[in-house]
Each structure stands twice: as C-alpha cells, then as structure tokens.
Structure 1
Amino acid sequence: DLSRETGISAPTVSKAVNDLLKLGFLEETTQSNNSLGRPGMKVRLATQKSRVLGIVLDSEECVVVPALLDGTTEDEKAIRFTPPDDYLDLLKQLAAAIASLSAGSDVSVLGIGISSPGLISFSSQTSLLVPSMEVLGSQCIAVDLERETGFTTLAMQESRALCLAENLFGSARFLKDFVMMDVGTWLSLGIFSNGSLFNGNDGLTGQLGHITVDPAGSRCRCGNQGCLGTIATDKALTASVNARSGQSLTVAELFQRIRSGAMRVDAELSQVTDYLAIGVAAVINLFNPGTIYLHGRMLGVTSDFLGSLIRSVRQRALPPSFEQCTIQAATVNRLHGAVAAIVHHLTLNVGPRLG
C-alpha cells in the first residue's frame, strides 16, 4: 500500500519500514488483508513498546510525564514537584523522575523533550535569558540531562513547543501559516510559516512580551521598563488587583474568586484585555497569519474573555488582515509541547538514516 501511494519502490519502502520497526517508531499489528500480491505487513505508530518523556519547566511546578508518539500523555503517571532554587538540585530531581518512569519496564524511552521558559539557543541548547526561572540561566539543561540519563534530550522555548504541538497533534495539522500565542505568565509566540517552525537566527524568536509599550511603566524582570508582558498577562492582572485590594492572592486564587463571583475586577481586567489586544493586533499586522491560537489561564478567567478580546483586536488590527485571521483557543498544552519537541527532533534525525 505504501509503495503504491507514494510511488517509492517496494524494496525501498520495505527497508524504511524495517528500520523504523528496529528503532521503535513503528510496531507490527495483525496481518493486512491486501488482495494484491503477497499478504502485506500492517504497521502503526508504536504504542506498546515505545514512549517518550515530556518535561515542563515552570517557576510554579515542574512536571515529567510519559507519552505516546502521537502526543497522548499518560497523565496518571506524571511526576510533579516544586522547582528548587539550586540548579544541581533541579537536575537531580528531574533525573530521579526520569529514572522512576523508565525503570522496571519493557517499554523503551526513545527520548526526552523539555518545554522551558526564556530564551534557548537553537544551536547550543543554552538557556540565555530566563527572568521567570533564573535557576536555568546560562545552563544547558537538555545537554546535562542527556549526560545524566543517556536518553536523547532536546529543550525548546515553551511557546515554540506549543506551536509545534498544535501542528503535530492539534487542529493545525494541515495549516502552513499560523501563530501560537502563549498568554499565561508571559507573552511569547511560536510562528509556523510556509509549513515550518520559524527559528530566526538561533531560535530566539517570538518574545512579544518584551516589546516596550509604556516607557514610564513598571520595571520588567528583563531590566527594561514598560514591557507589554508587565501589563497584559495573568500575573499582571493579579498584581494590579493585589495592589488595589491589599491582598496577596495567587493567580489561581484570584481566578477562582472571579469565576465564583466573589470578586469583581472589571477595571483591571479591561486594562489587561486592551493591552493584550494591542499585542494580538500587532501579530496580525506583522505576520498576516491565517490562524492565531491562544494558550493560557487567561482564556478561562471569565466566560466571555475570548469574545471580549477578539472585539478589542478587531478595533486595533488592520481590517483586511483581521478578516483573514481566525482567533481561537489552543487545543494543546505545554506537556504536548514538550512531547512534540522530542518527537519532531527524533523524526528529523531518522530521516537521514532512512535516506
């Protein structure tokens, strides 16, 4: 069937399939009822004997989870912990979680993907600037984990990983031009252009949150003043409400109170929505994407948050570009992003071997 569909010779297809079987990417299922010629081998993406591990690094919580190659995460097996302030301690806890998830099983771990905040060099895998998780600064956590565990490991900036996940596992499978906008604790973009993830010179792309919108505004953790991310994120909303109310609520606590009706934050939420709309409109005007996917807790702060945001974006974006763009919630999460990063990396590495 593969030979007929692709036009590639049967011996070449057979060799490629056998190599993928040996590598653990494919597995045999029941015999095919192919009526043309000899009975064919029926194969599928490996589900029984192969896994990858996804790691999400975040200032609030780190998560390690096993997953199938199709992006399905085994959340019931996830290991979660609060990140320590010391890098070696973080490395030790991650290595222990990986050992726990990969030990005592006949399932092979093909690789590890890491979704990480900050700027990550595409070429060296170094975390160059991570204001939200300083323990990672100037470290090569993927390189260090690979040395500790022996598993192929790749780190990717979280919004870029989300973008890749939406393309591999989500609703953007057949889209060539779209943007993933992470609107959580920070603002950053993953950009899919002409069918590929846009890397720029070294993968340091998409830092929308560090565009200055108020030169006299609050100081950002990057060192500048008035960055968009200091005004248009869930943490910015929480900080603004806490300043007015004199409380010390976390983002989760504030959102729970808003949704339950115990707290009204109309003025603060309106300001955050307006500034976020400025960012979304800028993305539309700059990149002319067919779709913008939004990811983050902000989308659930009220039942009409997304609708309100889109109405504000409509007022600020250039009309022709806005009319060509669909704005919708992402269908993937950061764990999917971590899995997508390593699946994509492994697939690229397999290509030359099969050639």
Structure 2
Amino acid sequence: MSVESAAPSRSNPRRAPAKPGSQSALRQSNEQRIVQALATGGPQTQAELARQTGLSTATVSNIVRGMSRSGTVTTSPTTSSGRRALSVALNDDGSVAVGIDIGRRHLRVVLAGPDYRVLGEEAIALKAGHTAAEGLDAAAELLDRLLAEQGIPRSSVLGAGIGIPGPIDRRSGTVVQGAILPEWVGINILETFGKRLGIPVFIDNDANLGALAQVTWGPHSSVENLIFVKVGSGIGAGLILNGSLYYGNVGITGELGHMTINEHGLICRCGNRGCLETVASTSTMISLLQRTTDRPLMAPDIVRLALRGDTATLRVIDDAGLAIGRAVAHVANLINPELIVLGGSLTDLGDILLDPVRRGLLRHAVPVVGESTTVCMGSLGERAEALGGAAVVLSQPSSILG
C-alpha cells in the first residue's frame, strides 16, 4: 500500500507528470487529447483521432504506440472505413479508480474505469463540524456500499484520490491552518486514510481536483491555461498552466478566497482582514440573506431565491460576483488564462453569477487580458472534485499503484 500527495497530470494515465513547458509535457498534453477523444467518442482509427484532436497523423501514430506499450490503449485492425486501418480504444481491464470529495457538509464518492466511464456515484450529507475520523468512516462505508452495488471486488480498486477543502502541505499530506474543516487541521490525511481504506491514497485540495476534472472529464481538454474557481463555504482556485496543475513550492496555491478585497473589512477565519471569502462565499451570502427571513437558509436556497427573482438575493449575488471578478482579474493579469471556469454549489445560477464576475474581470484586468479571457460555468456540477480525484488515480504510474 502507498500513500502520496497528488501530482496529477493531464497526460497518459500511466505516466508521471512532466516539467511544464518541456517536450515531455507537450507529449503528455497530446496524449491527454487522445484519451479525451477516446473517452468521449469511443474506439476510433488513428486518422479519426488526428482529425478530432487537431494533431498530425504521424504524431497520433507515435503517441498511440507508446500508449499501447504502457497498456493505456489497445489496438486492433479494422476495415470499418472501407480500408484497412488500426482501431484504437482505451484499455478497460476491469480496474477501478475512486474519487472522494469531502466538504464541510457533504461527501461524494465516484467509481470510474480506466476508460473514464463513471461506474457508480453517490453523495450524502455530513454534519457541520465533523471530525476527520467521522468523515473517514463515512467515506469508507460509502465506498464499500458502492463497490458492493456494482459487484466490484476490492482487489480491482487502483486507489483513491481525495479532495479536501483547504490548503494541503504536499510535503506531509497534512491539512494546514485556515481550512474549511478546522477539525482536520494538523491531521496527516495520507496516513490516516491510507490505513483505513487499505488502498493507495492521493490527497489534494478540492479546487485543484476541480480544475483537473475540467480538462480531463469536461469539454476543455484542449485548454492549456485555465483557472477553476470553486465558490462554496470557502473560495479556492485550481490553476492549469501550460497543460499541468500548478503547485508552487509546497503545494499551497490558488488560495483565492484569502486575497484581500477590502483592507478595512471583516476579519477572516485565516486571521487576515477583508479576504474575498468575507464578501463572496456562500456562507457570507447566507449570513446576509438570513436577516431577511426567520427560516434557516442553505446554499441551494440562494439559487432558488435568485431564480425566483428575489431582489435582495440578486443584489447579494451581484456584489459577490463583482468581488470574485476583481480577484480573478489580478490572477489573470499574472498568468493570462484562456478560460476561467466557475464551479461549486452555485453553478445553476448561470448568467446571474457569470455577468457580475465578467464585469469585475473587465473592470480590473488589463484590457487585452480581460477581453481575451472567457468566463463560463463548469459543466460537471458538484461532481467535478470527485471526478478529479478519480483522474488523479488514473494519472499515476502503475509502479505507484502496484
């Protein structure tokens, strides 16, 4: 059994990530295009893959040979197009990757095959303030139930990628100060989960996994530079730079929620003043709206009230969106992304949230950056982080999964 901090790559599911900007990184990015094409379109000839991915036939042929040797794909002769060709398919060997997303009030587990098909999925509610032991027990029980329902033996499980809503020190696999789950701070999640689940475990920040999901499971596999912003009880970002997740020095990146928006604002849970989370998280929105009703509100109520046209809710969302747009503008000025994807529990708001985010971006970004950056809602909904966890497992070398 092994436990590792996650270092997912968008590339060959059996190869370790390469240094961004290198020839290996370019090859891995091209491999991921082929994986995505096969995952969405099924078996195809190399000529069809070349047309779909925009790669040359020679490049596709070279990459497919390597992927075939590693066991990522299988090839077989075909005459379906009227002439003899080589059909390429993702190799489904019966193994299963597990993605686990643990939030302040929710738990989601996803099972996925090596062909990137979702085999099973379930989400349950967790009580706020749950301990790491309680969250772990719930995850283990839900995983066992899903495996039993799908008739999948534990021996077929490759490993589990686990997303946590807070900064993870990649050197130790420990949740550090400032997490949405304060009861988890200082606990070595790698060791604890690895022993409890009995399978290889990979740990990462949930926003990083959400970003990975957008370019692995979502429609953005060809995007090389992307910011994924998860808006929930906290606000975090995952950064895809030159085709790879960016981790920085010790893995604590994308803490967008702790960017100062108002230096005279409220004290944040991180100890700073006026952080983005104090003006734009769902917790803040609920706190503001709670003054208008005696009924306890939850994040889904924000969506319900907004879609109903509630004036106070629309104003709260507009203010939050402008603040988020301002924050991502500062990041966009630094990295010049092609795409900014919003995820989390408010994706059903659509343009109600997107419009103020776009206005904030255009107001605070360098004009050419703001105008050339697309802002959209994620298409994977609240399952993105769990899908990203499964993608982490599928990206690991077989020697690690061993």
Which of the five TM-score ranges fits, normalised by the shorter chain?
0.7 to 0.9
Q: Take 2:302 and 2:400, find their aligned partners in 1: how far apart are those partners?
A: 50
Instruction: Identify the match of residue 276 of structure 2 among 225, 228, 235.
Output: 228
1:78 aligns with 2:149: no
Corresponding residue for 1:301?
349
Gaps of at least 5 residues in structure 1 are none
Corresponding residue for 2:229?
181
1:53 aligns with 2:101: no
Instruction: Identify the match of residue 44 of structure 1 among 77, 89, 98.
Output: 89
1:58 Cα offset (Å) = 0.6
Are the counterparts in 2 of residues 71 and 336 from structure 1 also a CA contact under 8 Å? no
Q: What pairs with 1:327-342 in structure 2 (closer than 5 Å)?
A: 327-333=375-381, 335-342=383-390
Q: Take 1:144 and 1:74, find their aligned partners in 2: how far apart are those partners?
A: 26
Moved more, 116-125 or 247-256: 247-256
Corresponding residue for 1:118?
166
SS in 1 for 2:375: strand
Cα gap change, 1:333 to 1:124, in 2 (>3 Å): farther
1:259 aligns with 2:259: no
1:9 Cα offset (Å) = 11
Q: What pairs with 1:104-143 in structure 2 (closer than 5 Å)?
A: 105-106=152-153, 108-143=156-191
1:34 Cα offset (Å) = 7.1
Q: Take 1:221 and 1:236, find their aligned partners in 2: how far apart are those partners?
A: 12
Q: What pairs with 1:179-258 in structure 2 (closer than 5 Å)?
A: 179-245=227-293, 248-258=296-306
Are the counterparts in 2 of residues 52 and 339 from structure 1 also a CA contact under 8 Å? no
Structure 1, residues 60-88: CA drift from partner, whole Å, max 9, x if none? 1112221233544345x425241562332
Q: Take 1:203 and 1:217, find their aligned partners in 2: how far apart are those partners?
A: 28
Instruction: Identify the match of residue 343 of structure 1 among 371, 381, 391.
Output: 391
Structure 1, residues 270-312: CA drift from partner, whole Å, max 9, x if none? 3222212211221221221111111133343365431343134
Q: Which amino acid aligns with 1:297?
A: S
SS in 2 for 1:161: helix
Structure 1, residues 20-44: CA drift from partner, whole Å, max 9, x if none? 3xxxx66x69x53379xxx999663
1:88 aligns with 2:133: yes
Cα gap change, 1:176 to 1:302, in 2 (>3 Å): closer
1:345 Cα offset (Å) = 4.5
SS in 2 for 1:188: strand
Task: Report percent identity of matched pairs.
Answer: 24
Q: Which amino acid aligns with 1:78?
A: E
Cα gap change, 1:310 to 1:70, in 2 (>3 Å): farther
Q: Take 2:100 and 2:63, find their aligned partners in 1: how far apart are those partners?
A: 37
Q: Take 2:277 and 2:239, find their aligned partners in 1: how far apart are those partners?
A: 18
Moved more, 48-57 or 80-89: 80-89
Higher RCO by CA contacts (8 Å cutoff, separation 6 or greater)? 2
1:219 Cα offset (Å) = 2.0
Q: Which amino acid aligns with 1:343?
A: A
Q: Take 2:268 and 2:161, find their aligned partners in 1: how far apart are those partners?
A: 29
Q: Take 1:8 and 1:224, find their aligned partners in 2: how far apart are those partners?
A: 48
Instruction: Identify the match of residue 111 of structure 2 among 66, 83, 92.
Output: 66
Gaps of at least 5 residues in structure 2 are 1-44, 47-56
Are the counterparts in 1 of residues 206 and 385 from structure 2 also a CA contact under 8 Å? yes
Q: Take 1:276 and 1:323, find their aligned partners in 2: how far apart are those partners?
A: 17
Cα gap change, 1:246 to 1:298, in 2 (>3 Å): same
- TM-score normalised per structure 1: 0.82
Q: Which amino acid aligns with 1:56?
A: D
Are the counterparts in 1 of residues 325 and 358 from structure 2 also a CA contact under 8 Å? yes
1:160 Cα offset (Å) = 0.8
Q: Which amino acid aligns with 1:212?
A: T
1:268 aligns with 2:319: no
Q: Which amino acid aligns with 2:388?
A: A
Q: Take 1:43 and 1:266, find their aligned partners in 2: how far apart are those partners?
A: 49
1:89 Cα offset (Å) = 2.6
Q: Take 1:205 and 1:144, find their aligned partners in 2: how far apart are those partners?
A: 23
Are the counterparts in 2 of residues 55 and 338 from structure 1 also a CA contact under 8 Å? yes
Q: Which amino acid aligns with 2:113?
A: L
1:215 Cα offset (Å) = 2.8
Moved more, 187-196 or 251-260: 251-260
Are the counterparts in 2 of residues 64 and 80 from structure 1 also a CA contact under 8 Å? no
Greater gyration radius: 1
Q: Take 1:218 and 1:40, find their aligned partners in 2: how far apart are those partners?
A: 64
1:156 Cα offset (Å) = 1.1
Kindly report the root-mean-square deviation, in angstroms, between the aligned alpha carbons of the 2 structures: 3.4
